C-alpha cells in the first residue's frame, strides 16, 4: 500500500546534538512538508519542497534544515540551534506542482516524537 513512513517513531536527544528524522513516501507525490506540533497546539509548517533539489522555509524554519535529493525522501535535521526541539514532528506529501489546478490533498505520516533530555 502507498503511504508515508516516518522514522524513528520516538527519539531522545541530548542538548547540543543534531538529529535527523526520516520521511519516505511511495505515492509518487511531488510536494513534501514538515510540520511541528506542540501539546494542545495546531500544526506549524517548518519546511516544504515542491520538487527535487528545491525547498522553501515555512513559518518556523530556524534551527532546522532539510534536503530533497530524491523525490521519495525529505529528511529533517533538528540542529543544536533549535532552542526548544521537544515536539511531535509530522511529515506529509501531496501531488503538489504536478497539479495545475484543483485541490491539493495532504497525506500524513504517523509522526516522530522527539524529546530532548
Partner 1 sequence: DAKTTQPTSMDCAEGRAANLPCNHSTISGNEYVYWYRQIHSQGPQYIIHGLKNNETNEMASLIITEDRKSSTLILPHATLRDTAVYYCIVRGGGFGNEKLTFGTGTRLTIIP
* Interface positions with partner 1 (CB under 8 A): 4, 31, 33, 35, 40-45, 48, 50, 56, 58-59, 88, 90, 92, 94, 96-97, 99-111, 113
Q: Indicate the residue among 19 and 90 with the shorter CB distance to partner 1.
A: 90
CB of 16 to partner 1, least distance (A): 27
CB of 20 to partner 1, least distance (A): 19
Q: Are strands 112-116 and 10-13 parallel, antiparallel or unpaired?
A: parallel
Rounded to whole angstroms, the Cα distance separating 40 from 25 reads 27
3-class secondary structure, 29:
coil
CB of 80 to partner 1, least distance (A): 26
User: E strand or H helix at 34, and its extent?
Assistant: strand 31-37
Amino acid at each position: 500500500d502507498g503511504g508515508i513512513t516516518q522514522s524513528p517513531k520516538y527519539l531522545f536527544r541530548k542538548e547540543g546534538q543534531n538529529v535527523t528524522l526520516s520521511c519516505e513516501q511511495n505515492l509518487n507525490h511531488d510536494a513534501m512538508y514538515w510540520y511541528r506540533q506542540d501539546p494542545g497546539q495546531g500544526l506549524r509548517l517548518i519546511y516544504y519542497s515542491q520538487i527535487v533539489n528545491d525547498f522553501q522555509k515555512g513559518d518556523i524554519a530556524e534551527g532546522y534544515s532539510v534536503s530533497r535529493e530524491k523525490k521519495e525522501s525529505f529528511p529533517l535535521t533538528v540542529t543544536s540551534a533549535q532552542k526548544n526541539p521537544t515536539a511531535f514532528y509530522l511529515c506529509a506529501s501531496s501531488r503538489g506542482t504536478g497539479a495545475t489546478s484543483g485541490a491539493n490533498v495532504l497525506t500524513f505520516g504517523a509522526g516522530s516524537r522527539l524529546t530532548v533530555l
